[in-house]
Amino acid sequence: MSDTSPRSVPQWRAYGVAVLSSALALLITLLLDDPAVEPNTSLFFIAAVVISSWYGGLGPGLLTAFLTAVAHTYFFLPPTHSLAITNSVAAARLTEFVMVSLLIISVNTARRSALRRAEAACMKAEAACAEAEAATRAKDEFLAAVSHELRTPATSILGWARLLRAGKLDQTIAARALETVERNIKLQVKLIEDLLDVSRITAGNLRLQIREMELAPVVQAALETVRPAAEAKAIHLQTRFDASAITVSGDPERLQQVVWNLLSNAIKFTPTAGRVEVQLERVGSCARLTVSDTGRGIAPDFLPHIFERYRQADTSLTRTQRGLGLGLAIVRHLVELHGGTVEAESRGEGHGAMFIVKLPLVTHPTHARLPQASPQAAMVKMT
C-alpha cells in the first residue's frame, strides 16, 4: 500500500496537509488576482478540499472547507475584507462553494472507507494464507521428524541384532548391545504412545478415569522416574512441597504423564550440572505445580507457540535434542481436560524456563472413589 493508505496517515499529518493546502490555495488565488477581471476564486479552494479530503478523510476535508470558505468570503466576496454577506449573489456563490465542497468530501470519505475495507480484507486473506502456509510447513517438518525419529533407533536396533545373531560378540559388548536395543525400543514405544495420544485428542476420544486424589504422590512418582536421567547429567533435582494435603479430581496416570513430560523436557534442555526445581503448593482454590530449570530457555518469538502441535524451536534434522514436539501439546490438553491451565515463562535463550500448571482443588475431599466420568465430560478436540 502507498503512504496515503487510510491506515498509514497520522492525524497530525492529515490536518497539517489541510492547513497547508488551504494556505497555498489562498496564496495562489491572491497572486493570480486581476482587479480588472472577476476571479474564479473557488477553483483553487476546491482543489484544496479535494487534496485534503482525499489524503486525510472527513475531518481534514471539513477543516479545509471551513478555512477556504472563510478566505473566500473575506477576500473575494463583496464587501471584501469582511465576513459579512450583504447580497444574494455573494450568498449564492458561497452556498455553491460549500455544497460542492461537501459533495467532494463525502465522495472521498466513501472512497477511503472502501479502501479500509479492501485493506482489511486483504489483511484477513494474507493472515489466513500465512497461517495455512505455516501449518503446512509445520506438518511437513513433523513428518520429516517422525521419519527420522523412527529410522534412527530402528537402524541401531537392526545393526546390533545382526551382530548378536552372528554370535561373535564377547559378553561385555553383548550386554551393551542389549542395553542399546532396549533403550531404542523404549524410545520408539514412547514416540508411538505420543502419536496415539495426539490421535485420540484430535478425534476427541481421550477418556480419563477421574477420582479424588492427592497430587503429591503423583508428582513424587514422576520425579523418581526421571531421577536416573537427571543423575546421568549431574542435574540437581530440588523439590518444595506444601505441607498440607493437596487433593484434586483427576486421572492419576494422566497427571503423572503431565508431570513426567514437563520434567523430561526440563532435564533434556538443561546442561550438565544444572538445576531443575519442582514446587507444589496451594494457591487460593488451585493446586499450583511449577517446574523450572536453568536450561537453554525459550526464544520470545517461539514462546506463544510452545504448546502447539508439530512446533519445535529447532526443526532441523541435525538438532541435538530428539523428539517430535508433541509432549507439551499433550500436556496442555491433558491439563485442560482436568479443568486446569498451563503456561510457560522464559526470559529468553540461555535463561531457563518455567512451566506452571494450575488445577482446581477439591474443597472437601472424601477420599472416596468417584464414578467414572462420562465420555462427554472427558473428551476434547485439539484445535
pLDDT, residue 291, reads 96
**Which secondary-structure segment (H or E) carries 291?**
strand 286-293
Alpha helices (runs of H) in the chain, residue ranges in sequence order? 11-31, 42-56, 58-71, 88-166, 171-203, 215-232, 252-268, 327-337
- Whether 319 has a pLDDT exceeding 50, the answer reads no
7: nearest Cα among 121, 105, 106: 121
Whether 379 is in a domain gets the answer no
Residues 217 and 340 in one domain: yes
Report the share of the chain in percent with pLDDT over 90.
30
Looking at 160, 186, 203, the residue that finishes a domain is: 203
Report d(CA 177, CA 175) in Å as an integer: 5
Whether 257 is in a domain gets the answer yes
The DSSP code sequence of 242-253 is -SS--EEEE-HH
* 121 contact partners, CB below 8 Å, separation of at least 6: none
Whether 67 is in a domain gets the answer yes
Report the share of the chain in percent with pLDDT over 70.
86
265: nearest Cα among 233, 240, 295, 290: 295
Task: For the beta carbon of residue 196, count every other beta carbon within 10 angstroms.
Answer: 11
Residues 231 and 331 in one domain: yes
pLDDT tens string 187-196? 888 888 888 8
Residues 283 and 347 in one domain: yes
Whether 383 is in a domain gets the answer no
- Whether 310 has a pLDDT exceeding 60, the answer reads yes
pLDDT, residue 270, reads 94
Residues 219 and 330 in one domain: yes
pLDDT band at 313 (very low <50, low <70, confident <90, very high): low
Whether 378 is in a domain gets the answer no
pLDDT tens string 59-114? 888 888 888 888 888 888 878 888 887 777 778 878 888 888 888 888 888 877 87
Residue 102 backbone class (left: φ over 0; alpha: ψ -120 to 50; beta: rest): alpha
Looking at 127, 158, 189, the residue that finishes a domain is: 127
pLDDT tens string 335-365? 999 999 999 999 888 889 999 999 999 976 4
Residues 191 and 256 in one domain: no
Residues 146 and 185 in one domain: yes
Whether 367 is in a domain gets the answer no
Q: Give the CATH number, domain containing residue 217.
A: 3.30.565.10
Domain that holds residue 157: 134-203
Tell me the three state secondary structure of residue 274.
coil
- Counting the structural domains of the chain, the total is 3
Looking at 157, 180, 203, the residue that finishes a domain is: 203
Whether 336 is in a domain gets the answer yes
pLDDT tens string 146-198? 777 777 888 888 888 888 888 888 889 989 888 888 888 888 888 888 888 88
pLDDT, residue 371, reads 39
Whether 72 is in a domain gets the answer yes
pTM above threshold 0.75: no
Considering only residues 373 and 276, tell me which one the structure prediction assigns the higher pLDDT. 276
